[in-house]
Structure 1
Amino acid sequence: MKNITLTIDGRKVTVPENYTIIQAAEKLGIEIPALCYDPDLEIVSSCRLCVVEIEGNPKLMTACSTQVVEGMVVYTESDKAVKTRKEILQLLLDNHPNDCLTCEKAGECLLQKYAYRYDVKFREHDGDRRKALVDTSSPYILRDESKCVLCGKCVRTCAQINERAVLSFANRGFETRIVADANNSLEESRCVSCNRCVVVCPTGALIDKRNMNKIRSWEAEKEVVKCKVCEYGCDFEVLKRNGKAVAVKAKTPGEGRPLCLKGRLWTELVNVEEVDKPYIKENGKFIETNWQKALGLEEITEKIKD
């Protein structure tokens, strides 16, 4: 494949011709802000935070979708690009609950990170905000509509598994929101609690409910382990405090790796010292169960007993 040489923020870089600007910038260690971009997901350019200025082009262009061109000169932090990012971030904060101090995503939230980076703050206003629709029906995933920035990552990652595609966009304009099936709760929907959506969510709109109030991201000692339930070997982080494992967190699924509830529970049971009770879904309802049934080990354990 042909290589392309371009200049980003005064530094030259050579990359394959099918690279986008955001990928080329990563080669130089330059982070271009983005909420909707994920290298493993379809590019949609919806958040517009990654806009950059290209020499000779009168318009700002999205770095996640614009392919590199020989001799291209890019400015990622020009006055024009930064001004636009600040305006976008301000609109997002105007429509977001001011609870960063207690939000489970604090320390890992991209909206928080970029607002700090560009010195954008919450402000008082009497305009409308997203409705505080909180779905607590699942023992595994908490959904908070008021914190959703409509990046669509959850929709795209859910759709990557053919038999799933549970999440989708509904309504239009300001009323646009993410729904499960025909606007069902997670409990009522076909959701299998795999946690793919939780992993890619950039804000606190989707949270691993089993980890709530257990440990903050900045105080955790982290150890990466591989799930041993199947051949995919998905990666998980074991979160520890003072050497004691208190929770596990799924990491980004690799190509072909689906993530699953069974793997998440197995990894938790093996690694966490004090585990919460497991649940399974039967007839559209979550019910508390034992670990043998949750992990599909009933027949095996009965044979071992015999």
Structure 2
Amino acid sequence: MVTLTINGQTVQVPAGTTILEAAEKAGIKIPTLCYLKDINKIAACRMCVVEVEGSDRLAAACDTPVEEGLVVHTNTPKVRKARRVNMELLLSQHASYCSTCIRSGNCPLQKLANDLNIHEMPYHVHVARGYTDTSTPLVRQASKCIKCMRCVQICEKVQTMGIWDLAGTGSRTTVDVSGNRTLKTSDCTFCGQCVTHCPTGALTARDDTVKVLDALADPEITTVVQIAPAVRVAWAESFGLTGKKAATGKMVAALRRLGFDYVFDTNFSADLTIMEEGSEFLERFTHRDRYHWPMFTSCCPGWVRFIKSQFPHYVDCLSTAKSPQQMFGAVAKTYFAEKIGVDPHRMFVVSIMPCMAKKSECALPTMRDACGDPDVEAVLTTREMDRLFRSDNIQPGDLPEEAFDSPLGTGTGAAVIFGATGGVMDAALRSAYYLVTGENPDPDAFTAVRGNKPWKEAVFSIPGAGEIRVAVVSGLGNTRKLMKALESGQGRYDFVEVMACPGGCAGGGGQPIHDGEELAGKREDALWKLDQKATIRFSHENPEIQSLYQEFLERPLGKKSHHLLHTDHTTWEVVEKGIWLDSN
């Protein structure tokens, strides 16, 4: 242990602790901007500088280790002046149009500038110019970049994609796409982790709200919206709502107030995915010699893009089942359109997703199987939905709860856990067990695949099928390790679930942003609790799924199911490492 003094307070911490961490333990606040715990400790912004007795230079608290007998002052006149000047210099290269910035009110830079009592600029403001490309789900505005390097570190250390890097020299130094590429010509997966960790509006998800509002305003169009499992445990955070005021039914009511004709639950198509993907796994497992192993889940478009660009020789291992989002769109524009007597060409399907990569998925030319139009026209992130509520002066917490529409609005406990890492695997094993034995297992028999551990392994025995070796992984850095283990022969699995974002969809790139906080674990816990409380906990017992097969699809892996609910991942390529195109 090391003993030091901070602002006259004696503090004891383990050797190797930084001054910032020691101050935090003592309840002393030191401002930060570029700092991300365990990821970014490069002291680039100089907001955390402190005065150390015996030294003429100010020390950056985030990367200065404590020493025995150190005496630290965190708020001297010298420190305050340095922080203020550093902030003014940052602002001199920042487009401070806060009233029209997407991060206004939730911006660490804006808050810190206010905290430092900066209300006018002593320096000439010169911002970087850059073309804003909205053809990809991820949008970068160079004029708002403060060169904090958070995006570089998240992409490199956590996701291992290396999309961002420093470009230029001297005063022209900035952050840009690495290798002299653009986002469109890079192998970016659009996971959005750089967006949720950016402290300003320099990185954002493309805003598709205007497209949706135009559809809502057209009386000739039937608007349909689906809500992903992970959205329900995060949407209320930006409103400060908890408990009953954060109920899913209030979100449903708010979407109806926006003008949607039908509000459905992606839990429905998550159950449908289990029927198709679970049946596909059993078909492969019982005919092992015909397939390349293991079988991978295909629900996450960020993961699909990752494997196609990084490990293309494993693409044939992907399940051919579409994601729940795309299955929903295909069913909505066939089965449901017939039921309500609507021309599917006059139907506009919107997804509310915790994900940015879903925006690219719905634009794939292979996702037009219902009527030739895109099965899903637009994807809004959780953040975009919240902004729409605010723009229409809707107060969701004050609305009475309303139920999803039918017949695409019923989901099970197995479906809601799709938003948590391990949830897809857990749900699939529950129904696979039933499809083989004709009996339900204990719904909590597969707990080994649950929890926040980034890479989980387990072996389960299903009577009549044998032992099934499974793995669950979240975060692309962890995924890369798993893939290399497969290549080296160290990892041998039958079924693998992969989610691109750490913690799964609960920690997706489209979720509400809380600077310095990682809330995926808390949101996941809420999803598992919803499963525990669910009346039905098996996808094959969803009555609306049963009706769908009886009335329309006939059976899992049938001719109609194959056409609408499955896709061939080899019929399109990531051309020029970033442009989705049909290979034909």
- Write 1 or 2 for the structure with the bigger share of helix: 2
Q: Paired residue for 1:81? A: 79
8 Å Cα contact 1:90/1:121 also seen in 2: no
Cα deviation digits, residues 206-251 of structure 1 (max 9, x gap)? 123358789xxxxxxxxxx996xxxxxxx9962236731789xxxx
Q: Paired residue for 1:303? A: 557
Scaled by the length of structure 1, the TM-score of the pair is 0.72
Cα deviation digits, residues 10-61 of structure 1 (max 9, x gap)? 2222111110000111112222122221113142111111110011211100
Of 215, 239, 243 in structure 1, the residue corresponding to residue 235 of structure 2 is 239
Distance in 1 (alpha carbons) for counterparts of 2:182 and 2:16 = 40
Distance in 1 (alpha carbons) for counterparts of 2:325 and 2:95 = 31
1:200-211 matches, within 5 Å, as 200-209=197-206
Letter of the 2:351 counterpart: V
Q: Paired residue for 2:335? A: none
* Identity in percent: 33
Instruction: Give the secondary structure class of the aligned counterpart of 2:100.
Output: coil
Q: Paired residue for 1:120? A: 118
> How many positions carry a matched residue from both structures?
261
1:103-142 matches, within 5 Å, as 103-123=101-121, 126=124, 128-139=126-137, 141-142=138-139
Q: Which moved more, 1:81-90 or 1:186-195?
A: 186-195
Q: How has the CA–CA distance of structure 1 residues 193 and 119 changed in structure 2, closer, same or farther, with 3 Å as cutoff? A: same
Distance in 1 (alpha carbons) for counterparts of 2:8 and 2:366 = 58
Distance in 1 (alpha carbons) for counterparts of 2:183 and 2:557 = 35
Cα deviation digits, residues 116-144 of structure 1 (max 9, x gap)? 111113438655322244232312x2211
Q: How has the CA–CA distance of structure 1 residues 162 and 195 changed in structure 2, closer, same or farther, with 3 Å as cutoff? A: closer
- Write 1 or 2 for the structure with the bigger share of strand: 1
Unaligned runs of at least 5 residues, structure 2 = 213-227, 240-244, 256-299, 304-322, 327-348, 368-374, 380-417, 419-496, 498-554, 563-584
Distance in 2 (alpha carbons) for counterparts of 1:212 and 1:32 = 38
Q: Report the structure number with the largest CA radius of gyration.
A: 2
In the alignment, does 2:412 pair up with 1:158? no
Instruction: Give the secondary structure class of the aligned counterpart of 2:351.
Output: coil
Q: Which moved more, 1:41-50 or 1:19-28?
A: 41-50
Q: How has the CA–CA distance of structure 1 residues 34 and 211 changed in structure 2, closer, same or farther, with 3 Å as cutoff? A: farther
Distance in 2 (alpha carbons) for counterparts of 1:185 and 1:170 = 13
Unaligned runs of at least 5 residues, structure 1 = 215-224, 228-234, 248-259
8 Å Cα contact 1:5/1:14 also seen in 2: yes
Q: Paired residue for 1:254? A: none
Of 139, 143, 150 in structure 1, the residue corresponding to residue 140 of structure 2 is 143
Instruction: Give the secondary structure class of the aligned counterpart of 1:14.
Output: strand
8 Å Cα contact 1:21/1:64 also seen in 2: yes
In the alignment, does 2:276 pair up with 1:280? no
Q: How has the CA–CA distance of structure 1 residues 302 and 267 changed in structure 2, closer, same or farther, with 3 Å as cutoff? A: closer
8 Å Cα contact 1:54/1:61 also seen in 2: yes
Letter of the 1:205 counterpart: A
Distance in 2 (alpha carbons) for counterparts of 1:189 and 1:20 = 36
Of 22, 25, 32 in structure 2, the residue corresponding to residue 24 of structure 1 is 22
Q: How has the CA–CA distance of structure 1 residues 281 and 268 changed in structure 2, closer, same or farther, with 3 Å as cutoff? A: closer
In the alignment, does 2:201 pair up with 1:196? no
8 Å Cα contact 2:34/2:40 also seen in 1: no
Distance in 1 (alpha carbons) for counterparts of 2:173 and 2:324 = 36
Of 78, 85, 99 in structure 2, the residue corresponding to residue 101 of structure 1 is 99
8 Å Cα contact 1:46/1:151 also seen in 2: yes
Cα deviation digits, residues 174-207 of structure 1 (max 9, x gap)? 2212222333332221110111111211111112
1:287: Cα distance to partner? 5.9
8 Å Cα contact 1:6/1:72 also seen in 2: yes
Q: How has the CA–CA distance of structure 1 residues 163 and 63 changed in structure 2, closer, same or farther, with 3 Å as cutoff? A: closer
Distance in 1 (alpha carbons) for counterparts of 2:48 and 2:124 = 29
8 Å Cα contact 1:155/1:165 also seen in 2: yes
Instruction: Give the secondary structure class of the aligned counterpart of 2:235.
Output: strand
Q: How has the CA–CA distance of structure 1 residues 47 and 8 changed in structure 2, closer, same or farther, with 3 Å as cutoff? A: same
Instruction: Give the secondary structure class of the aligned counterpart of 1:91.
Output: helix
Q: Which moved more, 1:157-166 or 1:237-246?
A: 237-246
Instruction: Give the secondary structure class of the aligned counterpart of 1:135.
Output: coil
Letter of the 1:239 counterpart: W
Q: How has the CA–CA distance of structure 1 residues 211 and 18 changed in structure 2, closer, same or farther, with 3 Å as cutoff? A: farther
8 Å Cα contact 1:166/1:190 also seen in 2: yes
Instruction: Give the secondary structure class of the aligned counterpart of 2:204.
Output: strand
Instruction: Give the secondary structure class of the aligned counterpart of 1:275.
Output: strand
8 Å Cα contact 2:88/2:123 also seen in 1: no
1:161: Cα distance to partner? 4.6
Q: How has the CA–CA distance of structure 1 residues 93 and 212 changed in structure 2, closer, same or farther, with 3 Å as cutoff? A: farther
